[in-house]
A and B are shown apart, each in its own frame.
Chain A
């Protein structure tokens, strides 16, 4: 495993001029109309891991770690869920004990995610959703700048599942893959994410509307956005 981490130091992030920066006009199934989509989330989604918990450590609550693995994949760093979970356990970046329930093993908070990324040589910081740098529009700008973005938000709201709402605060992580805007006005309609929590169903390029984001992210206590300092694609 040490070889993998040695290699990470040598990998240069791609510049914002990378070809994936080119916007395209494409229909978003949920909206049923033509929209401006940044980030080619459907092509990117093919390469991402949309199923958490299938790692050899029996860590089922590793949405934050899978999101990191997806961020690294997007940056061209070959490090999957197994590698990231193993590294996080070894370096105490996540909750882990064989004596705690499966869905709590591998849990991270935003500081763990920042520290883990930084330990791998990927500069990152955290913004909370009630701060200026954590607004939905700011998040969209980070994505469009090509920076890696992991959102900590409320699972129950994005899944429309009351049993997963908990206290209404951030309890899940997704990796942001793109933005969707109205082609005429440029107004943000939503973002696309790879959601590893929807186990058993394809969820590598799910659309979350701005309205849902308001409930799941802006109004959710502790909701946050971990964003890389530099573009990763």
Chain B
């Protein structure tokens, strides 16, 4: 398995080339695609206004080697419930807590460090107590860090992973 810290810059580069302008990537969530462990991200637009269009694509990358397995535009295949969240719909990107930039960056770095550990245990049948605590810490921290309106998108994108979390953690 290739370290996430190695894969992350490549994913960002690929995403910018595929998606084009004004894009941001979500935090990754583990996915299992035909038995291959993968990191999955959704893509949303940048911008400084709080109310902006909802995420519009999903990018899936193999954890081993970082090969792009899938780029799916939501207009072709939506990972979200399109009826509930129409493709031209907008959501609120306000952060759930008032934090300083320094705190935000620290939080981001902690989430990424925890994720590095989590992708090594994701979808395992058995977890140690320490592994369970790590997954729980990541889960709670992620939900408290991202805009509230984005949480359902994380849950939809990582449906299998969230089901695994509920079952084993």
Contacts and interface: CB of A to CB of B under 8 A. Distances in A.
Whether chains A and B associate is yes
B16 interface: yes
Contact of A128 (B13, B26, B45, B53): B13
B26 A163 contact: no
Given A109-B21, A128-B13, 13 more contacts: A107-B46, A108-B21, A110-B16, A130-B9, A156-B104, A160-B100, A160-B101, A162-B99, A163-B48, A171-B22, A197-B48, A221-B9, A222-B13
B114 to A, nearest CB: 16
B141 interface: no
30 contacts: A61-B22, A61-B47, A94-B21, A101-B53, A103-B47, A104-B22, A104-B46, A104-B47, A107-B21, A107-B22, A109-B21, A109-B22, A111-B17, A128-B13, A130-B9, A155-B48, A162-B98, A162-B104, A163-B48, A163-B50, A163-B95, A164-B48, A165-B101, A166-B24, A166-B46, A167-B25, A167-B26, A219-B105, A222-B12, A222-B13
Nearest to A197: B48
B144 interface: no
Interface in B87-130: 94-95, 98-101, 103-105, 108
Contacts of B98: 162
Contacts of B46: 104, 107, 166, 171
Contacts of A112: 21
Given A163-B48, A163-B95, A171 B13 contact: no
Nearest to A158: B101
B95 A162 contact: yes
Given A101-B47, A109-B20, A112-B21, A162 B100 contact: yes
Nearest to A111: B17
Interface in B2-19: 8-9, 12-13, 16-17
Contacts of B17: 111
Given A95-B22, A104-B22, A163-B94, A169 B48 contact: no
Nearest to A128: B13
A169 B104 contact: no
A110 B22 CA distance: 11
B55 to A, nearest CB: 11
Contacts of A164: 48
A157 interface: yes
